[in-house]
């Protein structure tokens, strides 16, 4: 049997030589000293002679080499091939590193980005940041308790709605992992009821005509960035979602047809949406065009023309005007218009179509494929005229025709 002293004294010869230990273990000395001394284990499996490498001396000591040999012999007694077992273990380790949560998440995100709006892509990445503790974990090994710990950390900061949204996004990634063979199940399914419920609330909005007048006059007098003021004004005139307002692009504006054509990938329901533009809306766009014409966005970020206004810009502008989050929000312009237009007698279907709300009745959805464009054009101009009349102090009470 070998000893450490014998190994240290062994000299390289013109040809490679074997220094035998016992039970198939030996040290292979190459002809060149620079090539190192390799531990080898010879064995037979299924009638074939095989060799297993066990590392380089002295990084792997004599004792460690013997331990590896003994483990290999134990596998042979159990009817397993040590070489194949090592190869399978190495493959599993490589697969585990390739299938970490971060790797699967990025793959899922890249696929979803093809149908998500840019705003949603950014929001999705922001939600995943809360779960960064899971990034390096093999996705198949992640347990419900680990996910719950991530969500509890979000909840501890008072962000209950965000915790629910993070859970939803994580669940989508886990279900994708299951569908693609990287995990057995979705651990978020075991967390139903584990998070505090979200109190239902609606977006704060002003619906009283007198207060609407005050809001419009305040926006006209906004002394901040001109583009921010214009974004607020167009929010009131078009009552589209704040994310769509902020991400509006010049290529989507058809001045000749007086239309804003929002592509499907930017819409919440993934259906292309056309917004008829009133004369007042067109005038605002013409006025600000010189300010942002070099950007693809109508309302570029103040920091970079390659990005649109940030998510909080419009709400921050409303706060600057003196309106609290319980009085008015950027999303509230939709409720303001919906409430007043319904009270004034406009066809509910026309209003809902203009709000880009999905038709729950699929038969009606097909029947209404014409999208009431003529009525919507008339309504949007009448709405803009109504807002002008309010600012002028006129007592306008009816601008629509009540549907029979």
Catalytic residue among 246, 334, 353, 376: 334
Question: Is the confidence at residue 360, as pLDDT, over 50?
Answer: no
152-188: pLDDT as tens digits: 999 998 888 899 999 999 999 999 999 999 899 999 9
Predicted local confidence at residue 199, as pLDDT: 64
Question: Would you say 170 and 188 are in contact if contact means Cβ atoms under 8 Å apart?
Answer: yes
Q: Which of 219-228, 343-352, 366-375 has the highest mean pLDDT?
A: 219-228
| pLDDT band, very low/low/confident/very high, at 363 (cuts 50, 70, 90) | very low
Element at 42 (helix H, strand E): strand 37-45
Residue 9 among the catalytic residues: no
Answer with the residue of higher pLDDT: 325 or 14: 325
Predicted local confidence at residue 15, as pLDDT: 85
Quickly name the fold that domain 101-191 has.
DNA polymerase; domain 1 (1.10.150)
Residue 241 among the catalytic residues: yes
254-288: pLDDT as tens digits: 999 999 999 988 887 778 899 999 999 999 999 99
Contacts of 36 (CB under 8 A, 6+ apart): 30, 56, 57
Query: At the top level of CATH, which class does the domain 209-392 belong to?
Result: mainly alpha
**Residue range(s) of every CATH 3.30.160.390 domain in the chain:** 4-92
* Stretch 287-295: mean pLDDT: 93
Q: What is the mean pLDDT of the chain?
A: 88
| pLDDT band, very low/low/confident/very high, at 128 (cuts 50, 70, 90) | very high
Residue 261 among the catalytic residues: no
Secondary structure of the chain: what % helix, strand, coil (to 5)? 50, 10, 35
Per cent of the chain over pLDDT 90 is 67
Instruction: Say how far apart CA 141 and CA 245 lie, in whole Å.
Output: 42
CATH number of 4-92: 3.30.160.390
Catalytic residue among 182, 213, 229, 331: 331
Predicted local confidence at residue 120, as pLDDT: 82
Residue 203 among the catalytic residues: no
Question: Is the confidence at residue 325, as pLDDT, over 70?
Answer: yes
* Stretch 21-44: mean pLDDT: 88
Residue 176 among the catalytic residues: no
387-401: pLDDT as tens digits: 999 999 876 654 555
Residue 353 among the catalytic residues: no
76-101: pLDDT as tens digits: 999 999 989 888 888 777 666 678 99
Catalytic residue among 268, 296, 378, 391: 268
Catalytic residue among 241, 246, 353, 376: 241
Catalytic residue among 97, 157, 367, 402: 367
Taking each helix axis from N to C end, the angle separating 373-392 and 332-343, rounded to the nearest 10 degrees, works out to 100
Predicted local confidence at residue 397, as pLDDT: 55
Instruction: Say how far apart CA 267 and CA 355 lie, in whole Å.
Output: 11
């Amino acid at each position: 049997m070998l000893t450490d002293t014998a190994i240290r004294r062994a000299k390289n010869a013109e040809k490679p030589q074997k220094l035998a230990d016992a039970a198939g273990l030996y040290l292979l000395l190459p002809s060149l000293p620079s090539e190192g001394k390799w531990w080898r284990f010879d064995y037979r499996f299924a009638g074939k002679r095989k060799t297993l490498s066990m590392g380089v001396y002295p990084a792997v000591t004599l004792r460690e080499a013997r331990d590896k040999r003994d483990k290999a012999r134990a596998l042979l007694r159990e009817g397993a091939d040590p070489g194949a077992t090592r190869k399978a273990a190495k493959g599993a380790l490589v697969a585990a590193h390739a299938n970490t949560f971060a790797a699967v998440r990025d793959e899922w995100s890249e696929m979803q980005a093809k149908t998500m709006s840019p705003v949603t892509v950014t929001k999705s990445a922001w939600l995943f940041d809360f779960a960064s503790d899971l990034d390096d974990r093999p996705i198949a090994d992640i347990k419900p308790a680990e996910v719950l710990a991530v969500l509890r950390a979000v909840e501890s900061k008072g962000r209950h709605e965000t915790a629910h949204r993070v859970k939803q996004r994580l669940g989508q990634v886990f279900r994708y992992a299951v569908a693609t063979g990287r995990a057995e199940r979705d651990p978020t399914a075991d967390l139903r009821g584990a998070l505090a419920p979200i109190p239902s609330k609606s977006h704060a909005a002003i619906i009283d005509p007198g207060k609407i007048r005050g809001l419009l006059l305040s926006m006209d007098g906004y002394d901040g960035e001109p583009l921010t003021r214009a974004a607020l004004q167009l929010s009131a005139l078009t009552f589209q979602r704040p994310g769509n307002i902020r991400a509006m692009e010049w290529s989507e504006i058809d001045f000749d047809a007086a239309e804003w054509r929002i592509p499907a990938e930017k819409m919440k329901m993934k259906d292309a949406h056309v917004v008829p533009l009133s004369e007042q809306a067109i005038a605002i766009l013409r006025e600000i065009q010189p300010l942002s014409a070099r950007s693809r966005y109508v309302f570029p970020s103040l920091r970079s023309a390659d990005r649109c206004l940030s998510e909080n810009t419009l709400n921050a502008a409303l706060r600057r005007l003196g309106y609290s989050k319980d009085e008015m929000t950027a999303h509230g312009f939709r409720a303001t218009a919906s409430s007043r237009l319904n009270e004034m007698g406009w066809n509910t279907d026309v209003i809902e179509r203009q709000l880009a709300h999905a038709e729950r009745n699929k038969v009606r959805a097909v029947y209404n494929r014409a999208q009431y464009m003529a009525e919507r054009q008339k309504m949007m101009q009448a709405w803009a005229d109504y807002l002008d009349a309010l600012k002028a102090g006129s007592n306008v009470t009816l601008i629509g025709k009540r549907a029979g």
